[in-house]
Amino acid sequence: MLKFYYHPTSVNARRVWVALLEKQIPFEPILINLDGDQFSEDFTAINPLQRIPVIVDNKLRVVESLAILDYLEAKYPTPSLMPSSADDIAVVRMVEMIAVNELQASMTPLTRLLIGLELDAQKAEIARQRIIAVMQFYESLLDGHSYFVKDSLTLADIVAGILVSALPQFGFSLSAYPSLKAWLEGLEERESWQQTTLSSEMIAAALPSIRKILERRS
Ligand SMILES: N[C@@H](CCC(=O)N[C@@H](CS)C(=O)NCC(=O)O)C(=O)O
């Protein structure tokens, strides 16, 4: 059975987790506590980069969440989370890459402020402006639709939705973005979303290890 190395607080792992559930792929979840399990000899042998998520499927090991999503789509095509027309593929990949390269990249420094670490005021302001630019762009792409592409769930919704759902915790309100707000509410109704949503107690319990990771990276 496919092995899924994850932790419920990891947004990178959650996108894979939601895809596994949406595709109803049987999997064995293997919890990697991010307060040190990632550096163990056993896990380093599986991922020398010491990060989650990782999947191992029929002896194939895949690291990097977006690569894993592409593998799952190719290997388990039904139900499909990737459209087939050139235009739609472009939208899905664009939304995914903006989520990771712009949104997540700007949320990471702001996480420092949430957990009481220092962040240069100018860097914080640049990050906030980038996040607002992404929210505006997503709002225009959604334009009142339930999903980014043709009213059916794709990897774009999963990758962007997991990050956008965390924005209120960073002080961003969705009230000025009616399409984004309605889209997120629709995602939150899905079983895969509800099964992978963190309770505030779990977030609080994870704060010390998140703090250690951010301190190490700065
Ligand atoms: N680009 C990678 C990022 C993976 C990543 O940074 N994972 C974090 C958890 S969200 C991790 O394992 N951190 C452990 C550490 O930095 O020690 C992906 O998308 O899979």
Strands 60-63 and 2-6: unpaired
- The predicted pLDDT at position 123 comes to 94
- The predicted pLDDT at position 7 comes to 95
Mutation test residue for ligand 1: of 4, 7, 11, 12, the one with most atoms within 8 Å of CB: 12
Both tokens assigned to 49: 């980069």
Mean pLDDT within 198-208 = 84
Ligand 1 center to 58 CA (angstroms): 23
Buried b (16+ CB within 10 A) or exposed e, 6-37: bbbbbbbbbbbbbbbbbbebebeebebebeeb
Residue 176, C-beta contacts closer than 8 angstroms, at least 6 positions apart: none
Residues, the chain = 218
Both tokens assigned to 147: 């999903």
Ligand 1 center to 144 CA (angstroms): 33
Domains of the chain, earliest start first: 2-80 (3.40.30.10), 86-195 (1.20.1050.10)
Mean pLDDT within 93-116 = 94
For residue 117, name the pLDDT band (cuts at 50, 70, 90).
Answer: confident
**pLDDT over 90 at 118, yes or no:** no
Both tokens assigned to 186: 């629709």
For ligand 1, atom 6: residue with the closest CA: 51
Both tokens assigned to 103: 């949104």
- The predicted pLDDT at position 211 comes to 84
5 membership: H or E segment, kind and range: strand 2-6
Q: What is the mean pLDDT of the chain?
A: 95
DSSP per-residue codes, 160-191: HHHHHTTGGGGT---TT-HHHHHHHHHHHTSH
Work out which ligand 1 atom sits closest to the CA atom of 7.
9
Ligand 1 center to 87 CA (angstroms): 30
- The predicted pLDDT at position 102 comes to 98
Please tell me which of 171-175, 197-201, 210-214 the model is most confident about, judged by mean pLDDT: 171-175
For residue 170, name the pLDDT band (cuts at 50, 70, 90).
Answer: very high
Residue 74: other Cβ atoms inside 10 A: 9
Q: What does the radius of gyration of the chain's CA atoms come to, in whole angstroms?
A: 17
Residue range 24-59, pLDDT digits in tens: 999 999 999 998 899 999 999 999 999 999 999 999
- The predicted pLDDT at position 202 comes to 84
For the ranges 59-63, 93-97, 150-154, 184-188, which has the lowest average pLDDT?
A: 150-154
Q: Which amino acids bring their CB within 6 angstroms of ligand 1?
A: 10-12, 34, 38, 50-53, 64-65, 213
For residue 136, name the pLDDT band (cuts at 50, 70, 90).
Answer: very high
- The predicted pLDDT at position 198 comes to 87
Provide the β-strand partners of residue 63. 54
Mean pLDDT within 95-106 = 98
pTM exceeding 0.85: yes
- The predicted pLDDT at position 209 comes to 84
Q: List C-alpha distances in Å: 46 to 18, 98, 128, 141.
A: 22, 28, 36, 38
